Chains A and B, each alone.
Chain A
Amino acid sequence: MKRYITAILLSGIVALDSCSVLNPNVTEPGFLANPNAASSWVTGLRRQLALTMNQVVVSSELVSDNYYNNRTLSSKVFDIPQIDFIDLDVNNMQVHVQRLREMSEYGLEKVLPADPAATAADSAEVYFSCAFAHILSGELFVGLPGSNTGPVLSPDEHLRIAISQLDKAIALTKNITETGAYTLLKARAYYAMGDAVNAARFATAALSNNSLLRQVKYDGVNNVPNDMQTYIFSSTNNEFAPLPRLDFLDPKYFHTGLAANDQKPVTIVKAEEAWLILAETLIAAGKLTEGRNTLKELLALVSSRPVVMVDDKKETRNGGNRKDYPLTAVKVMFDATDSLRSNYVLDRQAGNVKVYTVSGTLVTVNDLDAAITEDQLLYILYRLRQEIFMAEGRRMTDLGIRFPVSQTEQLNNPNVKSEHIKAQLPSFIPLNRGMDDFTYDKANGVVTMKYDMNAVLVKNKHAKEIFPFIN
Chain B
Amino acid sequence: MRKIYTGCIKPVKTLFSLKMRLAFFFAFLSTSMASATHIEGQTMEKIRVDINARNLPMKKVLQMVEQQSALTIGYDLSIIPADSKITYMASGKTVATVLKELLSAFPVDIVAVNDKYLLIQSNGQQQAVRITGRVTDNTTGEPLPGVSISIKGSSSGTQSDVDGRFSLGFPANKEEATLVVYFLGFKKKELLLKKANSSGLNIQLEEDRLGLDEVVVTGQGVDIAKRRLSSNIVSIGARDIADLPVSRLDQLLQSRLPNAQIKLTGGQAGATSLIRARGVNSAFVNSTPIIYVDGVRMDNLNTASALGGGSTQGAAISAIADIPMDNIDKIEYINGGAATTMYGSDAANGVIQIFTKKGGAGAASINAETQMGVETPTADFLRFKRTKELLMQNGFYQKHHLGINGGQDKFGYSFSGNYLNSQGTEIFNQNRNRKIDFSTGFRAGLGEKVTYESSFTFVNNKYKRNRNGNQGGYTGLWFTESGASAITGPKFNPDIDNLSDDDFQKMKTYVREAERLQDNDITVNRFQTSQSFKYRPLKNLVFKATGGIDYRVQKNQVITTNQYLSFTTGNPVKDQGSITNNDRKYLGITLELNGQHEWKTGQFSFVTTAGTQFFRNEDQQIAYNGANIRDGARNIKDAASKTSDEFYLEVVNYGIYLQENIGFKNKLFIDLGIRGDGNPAFGRNIGIQYYPKVGFSYVPSAEPWFAGMTRVISSAKIRGGYGIAGNLPTAFANERTIAFQGYNSDQAAFFGQPGNDNLKPEKTHTLEAGVDLGFIKDRLLVSAGYYNAKTHDALFYVPPTPSTGQSMSQLYNVGRILNRGWELSITAIPVETKNFSLRLNASLNTLYNNVESSGGVAPFNINGFSARTIQTVVQEGFPVGFLRGNVGVFGPDGVLQSTTAQQNLGTTIPDLFGSLGLNLRYKQFTFFANGDYQKGAYANSFDRQFRFNYGADNEGIPQAEIDKNKRTNWLNFTNMFTEKTDYIKIRLIGCTYTWKPAMFNRVVKSATVGFSAVNPLNFATSSFDPEATISGSAQGQGGATTGGISYATYSAPRQFLGTLRLNF
Q: Chain A: residues with CB nearer than 8 A to chain B?
A: 1, 4-5, 8-9, 11-12, 15-16, 18-28, 30-31, 37, 39-41, 43-44, 46-48, 50, 71-73, 75-77, 84, 86-89, 91, 94-95, 97-99, 101-103, 105-106, 144-145, 147-150, 217, 219, 221-224, 236-237, 257-261, 314, 316, 319-321, 406-409, 411-413, 432-433
Given contacts A26-B752, A47-B743, A88-B866, contact A98 B805 (CB under 8 A): yes
Verify A46–B748 contact, CB threshold 8 A.
yes
**Could you list 22 examples of A-B contacts with CB < 8 Å?**
A4-B535, A5-B34, A8-B543, A18-B589, A21-B731, A21-B732, A25-B737, A25-B739, A25-B752, A28-B738, A30-B1, A40-B747, A40-B748, A46-B743, A46-B744, A84-B901, A98-B802, A99-B806, A99-B807, A217-B744, A236-B569, A413-B801
B86: Cβ under 8 A from any A Cβ: no
Alpha-carbon distance A257/B627, docked complex (angstroms): 11
Verify A18–B740 contact, CB threshold 8 A.
no
Alpha-carbon distance A444/B627, docked complex (angstroms): 44
B648: Cβ under 8 A from any A Cβ: yes
Verify B902–A221 contact, CB threshold 8 A.
no
B10: Cβ under 8 A from any A Cβ: no
Alpha-carbon distance A76/B868, docked complex (angstroms): 8
- Cβ-closest chain B residue relative to A95: B802
| Set of chain B residues within 8 Å of A99, measured between Cβ atoms | 750-751, 802, 805-807
Verify A8–B545 contact, CB threshold 8 A.
yes
Verify A16–B22 contact, CB threshold 8 A.
yes
Verify B858–A408 contact, CB threshold 8 A.
yes
| Set of chain A residues within 8 Å of B741, measured between Cβ atoms | 47, 222-224
| Set of chain B residues within 8 Å of A257, measured between Cβ atoms | 575, 628
Verify A101–B805 contact, CB threshold 8 A.
yes
> Which of B543, B740, B803 is the one whose CB lies under 8 Å from A148?
B803
Alpha-carbon distance A43/B628, docked complex (angstroms): 28
Q: For chain B, what secondary structure do more than half of its interface residues adopt (helix, strand, loop), or is it mixed?
A: mixed
> Which of A46, A98, A147, A258 is the one whose CB lies under 8 Å from B641?
A258
Verify A43–B749 contact, CB threshold 8 A.
yes
Verify A103–B805 contact, CB threshold 8 A.
yes
Inter-chain pairs besides A23-B735, A43-B746, 15 sampled, C-beta below 8 Å? A19-B4, A21-B650, A26-B740, A28-B736, A43-B748, A46-B743, A77-B971, A84-B868, A98-B804, A102-B806, A236-B565, A257-B575, A259-B576, A406-B802, A413-B803
| Set of chain B residues within 8 Å of A411, measured between Cβ atoms | 857-859
> Which of A1, A75, A97, A105 is the one whose CB lies under 8 Å from B34?
A1
B796: Cβ under 8 A from any A Cβ: no
> Which of A4, A23, A97, A314 is the one whose CB lies under 8 Å from B732?
A23
Given contacts A15-B614, A25-B732, A316-B571, contact A409 B737 (CB under 8 A): no
Verify B473–A236 contact, CB threshold 8 A.
yes
Q: Chain B: residues with CB nearer than 8 A to chain A?
A: 1-5, 7-8, 19, 22, 26, 29-30, 33-34, 450, 472-473, 487, 535, 537, 543, 545, 547, 565, 569-573, 575-576, 589, 591, 593, 612, 614, 616, 627-628, 640-641, 643, 646, 648, 650-652, 654, 678, 680, 731-732, 735-744, 746-753, 755, 799-807, 857-859, 866-869, 901-902, 949, 965, 968, 971
| Set of chain B residues within 8 Å of A43, measured between Cβ atoms | 743, 746-749
| Set of chain B residues within 8 Å of A71, measured between Cβ atoms | 487
Give B236 Cβ to nearest chain A Cβ, in Å.
Answer: 32
Alpha-carbon distance A261/B643, docked complex (angstroms): 11
Verify A44–B731 contact, CB threshold 8 A.
no
Verify A87–B22 contact, CB threshold 8 A.
no
Verify B575–A103 contact, CB threshold 8 A.
no
Alpha-carbon distance A77/B965, docked complex (angstroms): 14
- Cβ-closest chain A residue relative to B750: A44
| Set of chain A residues within 8 Å of B654, measured between Cβ atoms | 15-16, 19
Verify A88–B2 contact, CB threshold 8 A.
no
Given contacts A48-B750, A221-B643, contact A11 B680 (CB under 8 A): no
- Cβ-closest chain B residue relative to A101: B805
Most buried by A among B543, B748, B750, B949: B748
| Set of chain B residues within 8 Å of A101, measured between Cβ atoms | 805
| Set of chain B residues within 8 Å of A314, measured between Cβ atoms | 571-573
Alpha-carbon distance A91/B971, docked complex (angstroms): 19
Most buried by B among A25, A103, A237, A407: A25
> Which of B545, B749, B801 is the one whose CB lies under 8 Å from A11?
B545
Verify B30–A5 contact, CB threshold 8 A.
yes
Verify B2–A20 contact, CB threshold 8 A.
yes
Give B75 Cβ to nearest chain A Cβ, in Å.
Answer: 29
Verify B3–A20 contact, CB threshold 8 A.
yes
Alpha-carbon distance A260/B569, docked complex (angstroms): 20
Verify A12–B22 contact, CB threshold 8 A.
yes
| Set of chain A residues within 8 Å of B4, measured between Cβ atoms | 19-20
- Cβ-closest chain A residue relative to B867: A86
> Which of A22, A25, A97, A103 is the one whose CB lies under 8 Å from B751?
A103
Give A404 Cβ to nearest chain B Cβ, in Å.
Answer: 12
Alpha-carbon distance A50/B537, docked complex (angstroms): 70
> Which of B627, B731, B732, B755 is the one whose CB lies under 8 Å from A28?
B755
Alpha-carbon distance A26/B738, docked complex (angstroms): 6
| Set of chain B residues within 8 Å of A260, measured between Cβ atoms | 627, 641, 643
Give B162 Cβ to nearest chain A Cβ, in Å.
Answer: 37
Alpha-carbon distance A87/B616, docked complex (angstroms): 41
Give B741 Cβ to nearest chain A Cβ, in Å.
Answer: 5
Verify B752–A219 contact, CB threshold 8 A.
no
Give A436 Cβ to nearest chain B Cβ, in Å.
Answer: 12
Give B528 Cβ to nearest chain A Cβ, in Å.
Answer: 19
Given contacts A28-B736, A86-B902, contact A221 B30 (CB under 8 A): no
Verify B535–A88 contact, CB threshold 8 A.
no
| Set of chain B residues within 8 Å of A413, measured between Cβ atoms | 801, 803
Alpha-carbon distance A73/B866, docked complex (angstroms): 11
Give B739 Cβ to nearest chain A Cβ, in Å.
Answer: 8
Alpha-carbon distance A346/B537, docked complex (angstroms): 91
Verify A320–B29 contact, CB threshold 8 A.
no
- Cβ-closest chain A residue relative to B628: A258
| Set of chain A residues within 8 Å of B746, measured between Cβ atoms | 39-40, 43
Most buried by A among B472, B572, B680, B750: B750
Verify A432–B751 contact, CB threshold 8 A.
no
